[in-house]
Structure formats: C-alpha cells, structure tokens
Amino acid sequence: MDIRESLSMALRTLAAHRLRSFLTVLGIVIGNAAVIAMVGVGQAAQRYTAEQLASLGTNVLFVVPGREDARRRGIEPPATLTWEDAQAIAAQVPTVRWVAAQINESALASYGNRTTPTAVTGTVPDFFRVQSFDLQQGRFFHELDVQRQGRVVVLGSDLAAKLFGDRSPIGERIRLRNLSFEVIGVLAPKGAFLGTNRDDAAYIPLTTMAYQLTGRRSPYGLTVAFISVSARDEASVSAAQFQITNLLRRRHKIVDEDDFYIRTQKEAVAIAGNITGVLTILLAATAGISLLVGGIGIMNIMLVSVTERTQEIGLRKAVGATEGDILQQFLLEAIVLAVAGGILGTAVGTLGLIGIGWVTPLQAQVSWEAVILAVGVSGTIGLVFGVAPAQRAAQLDPIVALRST
C-alpha cells in the first residue's frame, strides 16, 4: 500500500485518541526537552568560559609553579616561583610588555561596624593592565606603594558598596586582618570570572601582602601564586613562552624536570573547553536515557493498542490488507508519535533554555545539531520500539481477531 495512505491512516487514528497519544509521547517529549536543554546549557557553559578567558586578551600567558600534572593529582604546588622571577621576566624578556605576580588570600574586611569576608589579591601595578581593569574613582597603586609596602587598597565595586554603601570610600581607612589600609581607588565593575566575583575583592601591593598580611616567606624569597604576563602582541606569545621558559630554567638551575609551567591563553581555553565538553556529554547522556525510557513507553502503549484494536486489524485483513500493510500502518503510528514527541520536546526544551537564560549568565542557544539529532533519534526510537507491536499486529490471525468481541 502507498506510504501516504498509511500515513494518513496513522494520523487519523492518533487524532481520534488525542489524549492517549499525548500521554504516550510524554516520555519522548520530556526526553527531548531534556536533551535540548542539557546540550544547550552545556554548550552555553563552554562558550561562556571561552568568552571569559578571551576577555583577558589573547596575548596573556600564565606562569604557574609546580609540575604540569601536579595540580591534577591534587599536590600542593611548591613555593618555587618568586617575585624576583617576575622581575627578571620583566627585565630580560624582550617580547613581554607587562608582568604581574600575584598572591591570593581571603580575609575579613571591615569598615566601622561592617564586616565582610572577601578575596584579597597582593600584586603590582601591571596587574591592572594585564587584566584590563578600569577605575571608577581614585587611582591604582604605584611602583612606589609596592616598594614602600604601603598600606593602600583598591576596592572592587561590590566590596566598596558592601562596606560604604553609596558614600565615596576614597581616603577612608578599612581593616584587613586587623591591619589598617587607606582606600585609594575603586574599580569599575568587571563581572565574575569563571565563577569568582572579581568585584567582591580587595587589591593591595604584593609586598604588603607578603610581609605584613600573610607573613609567609620561603627560602627562595617572596613566593607568589602565579605570574600573569602580557606579550607584546599575539604573534609573540610563543616566543615569550619560549624565552620565559629558558630564563626560568636558568634561574632555577633546572637540569631535568621543570618546577613550573606556562599556559597560554589558547591552552587555557582548550582545557576549559575540555572540562565543559565532558560536562555536556554527561548531561546529554542523562537526557538520552530518558529518551530511551520514552521509547519503551511508546512500545508499551502500542502493545496495548494492538490488543485493543484486534477487531480492527481482523477486519482490515478480511477486506484485503496484507501483513505488510498492517505492519506499515502500526510502524508509522509509532514513528509519527515519536517524531511528534521530538518536535514538541524541542519546543519545550527551547522554552526551558530561554528560562535558564533569564536566571543565569548562560545565554544558551538552541543548536540545530541538537534539534536534528533529537528528532532523528526520536524517529529511530519510534521505529525500533514500534517494530514489536507492529509485528504482533501484522501476525494476528484474522479469524481470532474477528471473533473477539
């Protein structure tokens, strides 16, 4: 029989049992909505991290202490990277423009009777350039502040608001770990970076951090958490990486394994992409399982439907339907159900993504690949799970079928 005939017959039957058809495809709808939403969220997360890293500028390199694989194994990085290293890079590497060593701590910040925990970064003036910070009020600290271990602080906009409300903090004194600092500047809002809020933070001179706030020193000198470096331009990133590596190997008298490693912007993006990529796959797999469950739901209801429609099948056979005709009709019903579920699910998933876009910074888009995949997979699921009921229908003995009343 012509496939269009079967299709219109399938559509009529499904339309005649609207509620049941809807309930049957609910599983597929949910499965598809989940796939669309999960893949959308995963991809949005991937794009978000990439954008965040790219916002640093493409010519940034990070020098990090420890062996490259140490961090992954959860080993505390050795205190081998020092401020002197950073100064040497700035002085001796010609392809480098700005160099910023930094130490990160957390501390309680207080002003008057207001107290709040915050992130404190000890660093140098170049830091603001590498990270391209802008000022809202006041000034950044100078080289001189670093040399003199000045008790000055530049506040992130959120921290300033928490401590001072609407008042101007410039010239006021706040306390960090019970040391008094003069507020000299407030940064323009910068937003979160990979989940840490850079506006709820205080920035102080590196030396003040090392010698007064933490008191932490090592036999190597003033050790730092990492050094961010800005190459002259994008083209000189690899040259800078090579030159810094050589310089640090000489300074650290390394013969075999490096005790530091250098990440370029590109590598960082790739790594972040890998992590979020795995996340996407996990989410998609979970959603895929619910799609499978939806398929089993279709099979279940179709089997019931075959039993219920025994008489119809017998009658169709009596007036000339072949086994192939019946098979085709029931298979098409299953496929139509599944594909309709796929389309409906895609719509629901898309609405879900729009909702997620409202409440999180993840601006998810519906990817065409995901839509085609979801609907295609649904159709296939309809086909696969429709076979058993359709075969049962096709093989019904017309006499038995007609006798049942």
Partner 1 sequence: MKAPLIRLVNVSKVYGLGENQVQALQNVSLEIQPGEYCAIMGASGSGKSTAMNIIGCLDRPTTGDYYLQGENVARCSSAQLAHIRNQQIGFVFQQFHLLPQLTALENVMLPLVYAGVPPRERQQRARLALEQVGLGHRLHNKPNQLSGGQQQRVAIARAMVNQPALLLADEPTGALDSRTSQEVMDLFAELHQQGVTIVMVTHEADIARRAERIIWFRDGQVLHDHLRPDDVYQAIRAM
Report the interface residues with partner 1, using CB under 8 A.
Answer: 1-2, 5, 9, 12-13, 16, 311-312, 314-325, 398-399, 402, 405
| CB of 320 vs partner 1, minimal distance in Å | 3
Burial class for 195, CB neighbours closer than 10 Å (0-12, 13-18, 19+) = exposed
Q: Distance (Å, rounded) from C-alpha 27 to C-alpha 88?
A: 63
**Which residue type, as a one-letter code, is found at position 115?**
T
| CB of 399 vs partner 1, minimal distance in Å | 5
Q: Distance (Å, rounded) from C-alpha 101 to C-alpha 103?
A: 7
CB-nearer residue toward partner 1: 13 or 32 = 13
CB-nearer residue toward partner 1: 132 or 322 = 322
SS3 112: coil
* Residues in a beta bridge with 84: none
CB-nearer residue toward partner 1: 195 or 320 = 320
| CB of 321 vs partner 1, minimal distance in Å | 5
Burial class for 257, CB neighbours closer than 10 Å (0-12, 13-18, 19+) = exposed
Q: Distance (Å, rounded) from C-alpha 370 to C-alpha 286?
A: 14
**Which residue type, as a one-letter code, is found at position 158?**
D
| CB of 311 vs partner 1, minimal distance in Å | 6
| CB of 318 vs partner 1, minimal distance in Å | 5
CB-nearer residue toward partner 1: 54 or 315 = 315
| CB of 322 vs partner 1, minimal distance in Å | 4
Number of H helices, E strands in the chain: 13, 12
Instruction: Give DSSP secondary structure letters for 307-357.
Output: HHTHHHHHHHHHTT--HHHHHHHHHHHHHHHHHHHHHHHHHHHHHHHHHHH
Whether residue 109 contacts residue 244, with contact meaning beta carbons closer than 8 Å, is answered with: no
CB-nearer residue toward partner 1: 8 or 246 = 8
| CB of 387 vs partner 1, minimal distance in Å | 19
CB-nearer residue toward partner 1: 259 or 312 = 312
CB-nearer residue toward partner 1: 214 or 307 = 307
Q: Distance (Å, rounded) from C-alpha 174 to C-alpha 111?
A: 5
At which residue do the structure tokens 């598809």 appear? 32
CB-nearer residue toward partner 1: 180 or 404 = 404
| CB of 2 vs partner 1, minimal distance in Å | 7
Whether residue 222 contacts residue 207, with contact meaning beta carbons closer than 8 Å, is answered with: yes
Q: Distance (Å, rounded) from C-alpha 240 to C-alpha 228?
A: 12
